[in-house]
Structure 1
Amino acid sequence: MADNRQNTNVSIRTPRARVQGLGPSGHGAGHWWLQRLTAAANAPLMVAFVVIIALMAGRSYPEAVALMSHPLVALILILAVISVTLHMRLGMQVIIEDYVHDKGLRIAALFANNFYAVIVAVACLYAILRVGLSRLA
């Protein structure tokens, strides 16, 4: 006699245990949280950045250097650069992973995205530190 029951993959794992792997790539939830964290950090950091830029308007170069040499100002600018470039890299990574379907092109685009974010961050951090520390010399 033939068995009419369907062979289904019955899992004894709970729904929470099945999603514990954070998606097919294993980094979905962490990536999502980091994107939200950098977005939340960017809001007050960009307000502070705009205030710093507004304070520099109309000042001479030595006065602007003096403002940027203040440790709190330099720290705010450094944190802003790190948060913004990390947020930019994460956002572009999601776009690349979602819309670039060719595996080789996707790997090249992800590499270029990471390279670009690092170059932007390093250039900005170098400028901030160079101007901020020039007053000490």
Structure 2
Amino acid sequence: MSNENTPSVHIMRSQLGRARGLGAAKSGLHHWWTQRVTAMALLPLSLYFVLSVLMLAGADRAQMAAYIGEPWNTVLFLCLIAALFSHLSLGLQVVVEDYVRNDAKRMMTLLVLKGGIAVLALACAVSVLKLAF
């Protein structure tokens, strides 16, 4: 007894996909949450960075080293670096995955981007730690 008002759901998957149980990869939620959390962390950290730059305008290296040498300032700068480069990596990954169609080019582009981002993040962290200690 089928009711004409009963809604039906049509899933657009191939017969092979249905047989294998293939569907969503279910890995995008972690990526989405990480991107949102890093974006929220960047709001106060970016404000802190801008205020620090304004406070240190015209400062010499010794004054800057003294400022960054304070434990909280060192930790906040390192948190800014981690959040910034993590957010950058996630954002660029989405762009590459959306617009680079060739699998080999996409993989190579992602590897180069992630490697470059890791090197830049490490260089920033070493700079902060060198000034702090």
Deviation beyond 6 Å, 4+ runs, structure 1: none
Q: Distance in 1 between matches of 2:117 and 2:26?
A: 23
Q: Provide the secondary structure at the position in 2 that maps to 1:57.
A: coil
Q: Distance in 1 between matches of 2:113 and 2:63?
A: 36
- 2:106 maps to a residue whose letter is R
Q: Give the equivalent residue in structure 2 for 1:62.
A: 62
Q: Distance in 1 between matches of 2:113 and 2:78?
A: 20
Q: Distance in 2 between matches of 1:58 and 1:65?
A: 13
1:102-126 CA-to-partner distances (Å, cap 9, x unmatched) read: 0100000110111011011100000
- 1:90 maps to a residue whose letter is L
The two structures have a TM-score, normalised by structure 1, of: 0.78
Displacement of 1:51: 1.0
- 1:30 maps to a residue whose letter is H
Displacement of 1:65: 1.1
Q: Give the equivalent residue in structure 2 for 1:6.
A: none
Matches within 5 A, 1:1-137: 24-133=24-133
The two structures have a TM-score, normalised by structure 2, of: 0.80
1:51-86 CA-to-partner distances (Å, cap 9, x unmatched) read: 111111122221111111111111110000000000
Q: Provide the secondary structure at the position in 2 that maps to 1:50.
A: helix
Structure 2 alignment gaps of length 5 or more:
1-9, 12-22
Q: Distance in 2 between matches of 1:83 and 1:120?
A: 13
Structure 1 alignment gaps of length 5 or more:
1-9, 12-22
Provide the aligned length of Structure 1 versus Structure 2.
113
Superposition RMSD in Å: 1.6
- 1:68 maps to a residue whose letter is I
